[in-house]
């Protein structure tokens, strides 16, 4: 059942990437049920985390926030730093999109040490990009440029072309 729940979470991630949100939700509902049935609290929290990401991609912010909040609370109990950072970054992105810049900045800053400690370049880049967006929105061009350039270097190193293009576009906008 553990491997089935793990596989279903993987299926849900693929479905979300392809925009098949209903199919992703169905897989996550099954994964969450299996994890709970088998007393796998970590598996259940991971399902909630993936569900939060899926709902964010689907544009359902309230549901995304609810799922991230549940996952974050559970991962804090397990002291799972990687997943704490992922949930925190997800919540920070939602805060930013909703205009809660101070709360978003606090969350991006909170996720950064987790990423740095584990040398997770992708999470570090995400946090730096978020901080840069906030600085740009607040017309702090120097701080925005610094964090955008750090994010650009990290995503370039990771060969994440989509994110590299996003940062380059943000830097170009900043230069105007």
HSE at residue 65, side-chain half, CA atoms within 13 A, is 11
State yes or no: pLDDT of 101 exceeds 90. yes
Q: Which of 86, 170, 100 is nearest to 150 (CA)?
A: 170
Query: What rounded mean pLDDT belongs to the chain?
Result: 96
Report whether pLDDT(23) > 80: yes
What is the pLDDT, as a whole number, of residue 100? 98
CA distances from 156 to 116, 162, 167 (A): 17, 10, 10
Indicate the pLDDT class of residue 44, thresholds 50, 70 and 90. very high
Per the model's pLDDT, the better-predicted residue between 1 and 22 turns out to be 22
Residue 176 has a pLDDT of 86
d(CA 55, CA 38): 25
In contact, 15 and 21? CB cutoff 8 Å: yes
Cα gap 91→103, rounded to integer Å: 9
Give 146-161 pLDDT, tens digit per residue: 999 999 999 999 999 9
Which of 80-84, 98-102, 140-144 shows the lowest per-residue confidence on average (mean pLDDT)?
80-84
Four-point Cα dihedral 151, 172, 93, 104, nearest 10: 90
Phi then psi dihedrals of residue 116, to 5 deg: -65, -45
Residues 72-79: contacts with CB within 8 Å, 24+ apart? 74/41, 74/42, 74/44, 74/45, 74/48, 75/45, 75/49, 77/41, 78/41, 78/42, 78/45
Work out the pLDDT band at 2, boundaries 50, 70, 90: confident
33 pLDDT more than 80? yes
């Amino acid at each position: 059942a553990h491997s089935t729940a793990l596989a279903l979470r993987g299926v849900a991630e693929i479905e979300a990437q392809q925009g098949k949100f209903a199919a992703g939700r169905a897989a996550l509902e099954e994964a969450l049920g299996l994890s709970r049935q088998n007393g796998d609290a970590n598996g259940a929290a991971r399902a909630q985390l993936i569900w939060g990401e899926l709902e964010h991609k689907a544009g359902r912010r309230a549901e995304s926030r609810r799922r991230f909040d549940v996952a974050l609370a559970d991962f804090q109990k397990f002291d799972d730093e990687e997943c704490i950072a992922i949930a925190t970054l997800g919540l920070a992105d939602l805060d930013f999109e909703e205009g809660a810049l101070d709360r978003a900045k606090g969350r991006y800053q909170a996720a950064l040490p987790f990423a740095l400690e584990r040398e997770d370049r992708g999470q570090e880049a995400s946090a730096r990009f978020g901080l840069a967006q906030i600085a740009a929105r607040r017309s702090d061009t120097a701080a925005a440029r610094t964090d955008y350039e750090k994010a650009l270097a990290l995503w370039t190193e990771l060969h994440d072309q989509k994110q590299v293009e996003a940062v380059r576009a943000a830097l170009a906008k900043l230069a105007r």
